[in-house]
Amino acid sequence: MATHIKRGNCCHLRVGGKRIPAEVVDVREQLIRLRCPEDGVPTRGSGLTIEFAENGAVAGYFAQVLTAAPGQAREVVLLRSPGLDRIDLRSFLRVPSSFTATVEGVQTGGPAEAQILNISSGGALLRTPARVQVGEPVRVTLTAVEQRPIHISGSVVHIGDEQPQTEHSIGVRFLGVDTDGRHAISWYVWKRIEQIFSAPA
- What are the residues whose beta carbons fall under 8 Å from the beta carbon of 94, sequence distance 6 or more? 118, 119, 120, 123, 124, 125, 189
Neighbours of 110 (CB within 10 A): 8
Q: How confident is the model at residue 90 (pLDDT cuts 50, 70, 90)?
A: very low
Q: How confident is the model at residue 56 (pLDDT cuts 50, 70, 90)?
A: low
- pTM for the full model? 0.56
Domain annotation for the chain: domains and CATH numbers: 10-80 (2.40.10.220), 95-196 (2.40.10.220)
Q: Average pLDDT for residues 35-48, to the nearest whole number?
A: 71
In angstroms, the CA 54 to CA 86 distance is 18
In angstroms, the CA 115 to CA 192 distance is 16
Instruction: Check pLDDT > 70 for residue 41.
Output: no
- What are the residues whose beta carbons fall under 8 Å from the beta carbon of 146, sequence distance 6 or more? 180, 181, 184, 188
Q: Average pLDDT for residues 37-66, to the nearest whole number?
A: 70
In angstroms, the CA 16 to CA 27 distance is 24
